[in-house]
């Protein structure tokens, strides 16, 4: 096989093995919580596949390592060893170690490290061996010569697919073969069963074949025949040049396959029914197209209804096709959720807290890009919930709660969005501590009066942390502000709801896809801009006096008791012919990153779905613009990056 | 050219086997467990079946047993793809009706040599 061919399957092997490791991990955790023995079989199968695949695809070290774990699992599977917390712990470390090996395999680095060597020794020691099993020594060179072979198959051998003729052909390849049939056991014709074998054979093989080579020919039928292989000592063996290559002799060991294939896999595994759906839709589209094609010759009034029908069909199929194609990028959030049982277990142990993890809505599908980027924010929220949210068992008991805290991760659809919630039943946000910290940090004035919502918002401020002693878990210099920014980069938002003594719930709202946004088309002079619907709070028409210039530049207007900064899009983007008088234009109040600003535009030209085209790919990054789209008349409109504008505004004010 | 059915729950192993055999001019179908393999085998007759032992849903041993019970598969070569460490599986497979085995890990040349061995 070509190197590229092998590398392709090596990549598939790595991907499926990583999935297998996820399964192993989940099953080990379930076992730890008293899951049934059937789980062991699944774990064994995963390890077994990795061992076999690793050897096949050029990772002998990984194969040898996994072999140790597999042996242990085999003992458990066979009931020769009871599984306990210690073994689960050890096997979880094996899973981690293998993940590391795969990462190094993809990076083209040596697979073994001290961790792997240590674990291997630990596994061997557990199974009562001082050292890991060494590779079996090569058998000593065997004696070659001539052989007499008595071969009598059992009657049923043919049904098993083994044809004596094949065996003789293989023997003939080893030397000079003489065959004599033995008809002793042939029944009379009326009792002869034609599908059975009643013959026996006496064979003489002269040449340089070893006993092993001869026996190897019969390896598949040993149990289905009477076989005797004796040296044909008395007879001198005539040399048969070029006939000594055994077809069954072991070939060269599998060569190390090319380490090609990038570390990042850009591929998506798609369920077959999704593809079938697409093919079906494309078929429909083709039919509609050919139907509309009949109007090429011209449209007369009598066929107008048909044309309308065709266009309606086209619209429907296009929309369905769009949804289906989007669906291909959609993957269940389970792949992200699945990492949490392990993490929660480890964290709980480390912090001496009892945590019961509930997962719900694992099958909710997210865009692949969103899925890849939502992991870190979720990890942070989960860490925070266990570290700061949930109380110690003693404190929970004192508060009249069950000792084990509950952490619930749930994903679901709401409208056109995906919602992911991280909820704990811990102590809730500590209002006093947050306020004190905010005052100390100069985020709010000491005498400020804030409602609960405003206090909760404070934790999303940069550099905010209330833990008196930064633990090594949450105190990583990453705060909730980063979570909010990460989520905002995905076009989403995060809010927290908290009740003292009852717990906190963080709610992340994400768009279904990043490829299409719902937006309002705003006109500014001769240009049109798309403002994402998710960030729009309200549009208002203001009187001239509602907008006031501020000392040092900039303008403010009053909106629901707040003063919001004004961003005039025509100034921002330098548009000609735009409306300048406040009372003739429109103020779109937008919100992002917890800040609100007013975007001043000429007016609105309707709502539409915009297919996002990257500006960076075609031009360069432009502040305040997240991308571009093509409008129905073929012209280009820029998509306003609301979060970027809000940040820009903040910086301008700070300057 | 022969019609071959490759049965393995591992996509990489299946891919490697099919790729190698197709390269040698064979027509290869794939199945990812014993049950799906049986469905495929009932639909058309293969000249050779290569099956992994350890698979979810229906393992290779059970598959061989059921396959051999079909009239169309009496005498058709069925090879188990098995690992060295499970010598007992070879015999279990044989008892269920397998023709022989190919020991994992194998490389494309070994696979082709074994296939030549049974197909002549």
- pLDDT at position A94, please? 92
Per the CB < 8 Å rule, is B109 touching A10?
no
Return the number of CB contacts < 8 Å for A and B.
117
Give the pLDDT confidence score for residue A650 in this predicted structure.
Answer: 67
Q: How far is CA A144 from the centre of its chain?
A: 55
Q: Are residues A350 and A477 in the same domain?
A: yes
**What gap in Å lies between CA A252 and CA A369, rounded to an integer?**
43
- CB nearest A52 (choices: B74, B95, B104): B104
Whether residues A499 and A534 fall in one domain: no
pLDDT score recorded for residue A491 = 79
In tens, the pLDDT along A335-368 reads: 899 889 988 988 898 888 999 999 999 989 888 8
Tell whether A496 and A537 lie within a shared domain. Answer: no
Residue B21 has pLDDT above 90, yes or no: yes
For residue A151, what is the enclosing H or E element? Answer: strand A147-153
A169-203 pLDDT per residue, tens: 888 888 888 888 888 777 877 777 777 888 888 88
Q: Does residue A51 fall inside a structural domain?
A: yes
Burial class of residue A132, CB neighbours in 10 A (0-12, 13-18, 19+)? middle
Task: State how far the Cα of A610 lies from the Cα of A621, in Å rounded to an integer.
Answer: 19
List, in order, residues 6 or more apart from B86 with CB less than 8 Å away: B53
Best of A3, A220, A257 to disrupt the B interface (most B CBs within 10 Å) is A220
Residue A131: predicted pLDDT: 54
Residues of chain A found within 8 Å of residue B11, distances taken between Cβ atoms:
12, 16
Domain match, A569 and A554 both: yes
For residues A189 and A254, the answer to whether their CB atoms sit within 8 Å is no
Q: Is residue A503 very low, low, confident or very high in pLDDT (cuts 50, 70, 90)?
A: very high
Tokens of A32: 């730890």
Q: Which residues of A614-631 are buried (b: 16+ CB within 10 A; e: fewer)?
A: ebeeeeeeeebbbbbbee
A491 lies in the same domain as A559: no
pLDDT tens digits, one per residue of A8-28: 888 889 989 999 999 899 899
Out of A161, A224, A253, the one facing B75 most closely (by C-beta) is A161
**Mean pLDDT of chain A, nearest integer:** 81
Over range A633-654, report the average pLDDT: 78
Whether residue A218 sits in one domain with residue A81? no
DSSP state of A220: T
Domain end call among A281, A309, A328:
A328
Residue B21 with chain A: CB contacts under 8 Å:
none
Chain A within 8 Å of B2 (Cβ-Cβ)?
Answer: no
A588 and A646, same structural domain? yes
Task: Say which of A44, A49, A56 has its CB closest to residue B16.
Answer: A56
DSSP codes, A184-215: TTPPPGGG--TTS---EEEEEEEES-BHHHHH
Nearest to residue A8, comparing CAs of A264, A262, A275? Answer: A262
* pLDDT at residue A394, rounded to an integer: 92
Contact predicate A47/B54, CB 8 Å: no
The torsion angles phi and psi of A590, rounded to 5 degrees, stand at: -120, 160
Residue of chain A nearest B16, judged by CA positions: A9
Nearest-angstrom CA–CA distance, A69 and A81: 13
Q: What is the CATH number of the domain that holds A154?
A: 3.30.70
Half-sphere exposure of A443 (CA within 13 A, CB side): 20
Per the model's pLDDT, the better-predicted residue between A375 and A416 turns out to be: A375
Please give the average per-residue pLDDT across B56-76, as a whole number.
90
Q: Which residues of B touch A53 (CB under 8 A)?
A: 10, 12-13
For A518-577, the pLDDT digits (tens) are 889 999 999 999 999 888 889 999 888 888 888 877 899 988 888 899 999 998 888 888
pLDDT at A164 over 90: no
Residue numbers of the domain that contains A41: 3-126
Instruction: Let me know: does B53 contact B81? Beta carbons within 8 Å.
Output: yes
Query: What pLDDT was estimated at residue B56?
Result: 87
Please give the full DSSP string across B6-46, using - where no structure is assigned.
EE-S-HHHHHHHHHHHHHTT-EEEEESSHHHHHHHHHHS--
- The two beta strands, A562-568 and A555-559, are antiparallel
* Count of CB atoms situated within 10 Å of the CB of A315: 11
**Do the Cβ atoms of A205 and A175 come closer than 8 Å?**
yes
Cα B21 to chain center, whole Å? 12
A251: which chain B residues are within 8 Å (Cβ-Cβ)? 107, 109-110, 113
Given this model, what pLDDT does residue B50 score? 95
Minimal C-alpha gap between B60 and chain A (Å): 13
pLDDT higher than 90, residue A512: no
- Are A12 and B15 a contacting pair at CB < 8 A? yes
Number of H helices and E strands in chain A, helices first, is 19, 22
Q: pTM higher than 0.90 for the full model?
A: no
Helix H or strand E encompassing A5:
helix A3-32
Mutant choice from A161, A163, A219, A258 vs B, greatest count of B C-beta within 10 A: A161
Cis ω before B105 (30° cut-off from 0): yes
Judging contacts by C-beta atoms under 8 Å, the chain B residues touching residue A71 are 85
Rounded Cα–Cα distance for residues A369 and A133 (Å):
44
Per-residue pLDDT at A139: 44
Q: Across the interface, do B120 and A166 touch by the CB < 8 Å criterion?
A: yes
Q: Do β-strands A516-524 and A603-611 pair in parallel, antiparallel, or remain unpaired?
A: antiparallel
Count the domains in chain A.
Answer: 5
Residue A304 confidence class, pLDDT cut points 50, 70, 90: confident
A578 and A605 co-located in one domain: yes
Using the predicted structure, report yes or no on whether residue A31 has a pLDDT greater than 90. no
Q: Examine the domain organization and report whether A559 and A600 are in the same domain.
A: yes
User: To probe the interface with A, which of B6, B16, B74 has the most A CB atoms within 10 Å?
Assistant: B16
The answer to whether the CB of B20 falls within 8 A of the CB of B111 is: yes
What confidence category does residue A404 fall into, taking pLDDT thresholds of 50, 70 and 90?
very high
Three-state SS at A279: helix
Whether the CB of B80 is below 8 Å from some CB of chain A: the reply is: no
What percent of chain A stands above pLDDT 90? 18
Q: Which of B4, B13, B32, B51 should we substitute to test contact with A (largest number of A Cβ atoms within 10 Å)?
A: B13
* Class of B3-119 in CATH: alpha beta
Q: Please check whether residues A424 and A310 belong to one and the same domain.
A: no
Whether A112 and A201 map to the same domain: the answer is no
Is the Cβ pair A70, B116 closer than 8 Å?
no
Percent composition of chain B: helix, strand, coil (DSSP 3-state, to 5): 50, 20, 30
Q: What is the pLDDT of residues A583-626, one digit of tens each?
A: 999 999 998 766 789 999 999 988 888 888 878 777 888 888 88
Is there a single domain that holds both residue A459 and residue A337?
Answer: yes
Contact B98 A166 (CB under 8 A): no
């Amino acid at each position: 096989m070509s190197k590229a061919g092998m590398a392709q399957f090596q990549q598939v092997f790595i991907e499926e093995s990583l999935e297998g490791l996820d399964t192993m991990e989940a099953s080990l955790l379930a076992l730890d919580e008293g899951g049934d023995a059937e789980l062991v079989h699944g774990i064994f199968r995963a390890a077994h596949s990795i061992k076999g695949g690793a050897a096949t695809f050029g990772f002998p070290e990984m194969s040898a390592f996994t072999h140790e774990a597999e042996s242990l699992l085999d003992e458990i599977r066979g009931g020769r060893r009871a599984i306990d917390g210690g073994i689960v712990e050890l096997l979880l470390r094996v899973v981690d170690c293998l993940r590391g090996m795969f990462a190094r395999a993809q990076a083209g680095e040596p697979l073994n490290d001290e961790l792997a060597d240590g674990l291997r020794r630990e596994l061997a020691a557990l199974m009562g061996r001082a050292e890991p099993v060494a590779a079996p020594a090569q058998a000593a060179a065997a004696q070659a010569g001539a052989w007499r072979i008595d071969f009598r198959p059992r009657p049923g051998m043919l049904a098993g697919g083994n044809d004596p003729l094949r065996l003789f052909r293989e023997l003939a390849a080893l030397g000079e073969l003489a065959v004599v049939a033995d008809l002793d056991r042939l029944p009379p014709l009326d009792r002869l069963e034609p599908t059975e074998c009643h013959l026996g054979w006496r064979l003489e093989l002269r040449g340089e074949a070893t006993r092993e080579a001869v026996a190897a020919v019969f390896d598949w039928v040993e149990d289905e025949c009477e076989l005797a292989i004796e040296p044909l000592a008395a007879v001198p063996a005539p040399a048969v040049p070029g006939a000594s290559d055994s077809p069954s002799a072991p070939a060269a060991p599998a060569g190390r396959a090319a380490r090609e294939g990038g570390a990042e896999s850009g591929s998506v595994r798609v369920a077959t029914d999704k593809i079938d759906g697409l093919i079906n839709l494309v078929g429909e589209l083709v039919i509609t197209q050919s139907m509309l094609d009949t109007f090429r010759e011209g449209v007369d009034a009598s066929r107008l209804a048909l044309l309308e029908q065709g266009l309606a069909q086209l619209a429907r199929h296009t929309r369905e096709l769009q949804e289906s194609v989007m669906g291909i990028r959609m993957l269940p959030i389970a792949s992200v959720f699945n990492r949490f049982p392990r993490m929660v277990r480890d964290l709980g142990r480390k912090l001496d807290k009892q945590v019961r993890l509930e997962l719900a809505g694992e099958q909710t599908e997210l865009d692949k890009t969103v899925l890849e980027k939502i992991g870190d924010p979720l990890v942070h929220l989960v860490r925070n919930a266990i570290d700061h949210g949930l109380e110690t068992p003693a404190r929970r008991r004192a508060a009249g709660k069950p000792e084990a805290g509950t952490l619930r991760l749930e994903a679901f659809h709401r409208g056109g969005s995906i919602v992911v919630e991280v909820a704990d039943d811990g102590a809730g946000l500590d209002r006093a501590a947050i306020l004190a910290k905010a005052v100390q940090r100069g985020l709010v004035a000491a005498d400020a009066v804030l409602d609960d919502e405003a206090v909760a918002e404070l934790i999303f401020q940069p550099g905010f942390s209330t833990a008196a002693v930064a633990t090594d878990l949450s105190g990583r210099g990453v705060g909730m502000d980063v979570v909010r920014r990460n989520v905002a980069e995905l076009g989403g938002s995060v809010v927290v709801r908290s009740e003292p003594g009852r717990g906190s719930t963080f709610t992340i709202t994400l768009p279904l896809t990043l490829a299409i946004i719902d937006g309002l088309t705003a006109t500014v002079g001769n240009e049109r801009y798309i403002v994402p619907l998710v960030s729009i709070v309200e549009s208002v028409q203001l009187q001239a006096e509602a907008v006031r210039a501020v000392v040092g530049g900039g303008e403010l207007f009053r909106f629901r008791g707040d003063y919001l900064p004004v961003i005039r899009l025509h100034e921002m983007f330098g548009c000609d012919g735009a409306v300048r008088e406040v009372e003739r234009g429109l103020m779109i109040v937008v919100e992002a990153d917890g800040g609100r600003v007013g975007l001043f535009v000429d007016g609105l030209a309707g709502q539409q779905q915009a297919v996002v085209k990257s500006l960076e790919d075609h031009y360069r990054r432009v502040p305040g613009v997240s991308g571009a789209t093509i409008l129905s008349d073929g012209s280009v409109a820029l998509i306003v990056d609301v979060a970027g504008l809000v940040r820009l505004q903040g910086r301008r004010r700070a300057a | 050219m022969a019609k071959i059915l490759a049965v393995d729950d591992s996509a990489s192993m299946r891919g490697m086997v099919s790729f190698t055999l197709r390269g040698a001019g064979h027509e290869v179908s794939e199945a990812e467990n014993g049950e799906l393999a049986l469905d495929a085998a009932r639909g058309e007759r293969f000249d050779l079946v290569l099956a992994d032992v350890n698979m979810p849903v229906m393992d290779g041993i059970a598959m061989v047993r059921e396959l051999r019970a079909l009239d169309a598969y009496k005498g058709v070569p069925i090879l188990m793809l098995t690992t060295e460490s499970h010598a007992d599986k070879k015999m279990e497979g044989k008892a269920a009706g397998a023709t022989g085995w190919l020991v994992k890990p194998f490389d494309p040349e070994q696979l082709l040599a074994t296939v030549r061995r049974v197909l002549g």
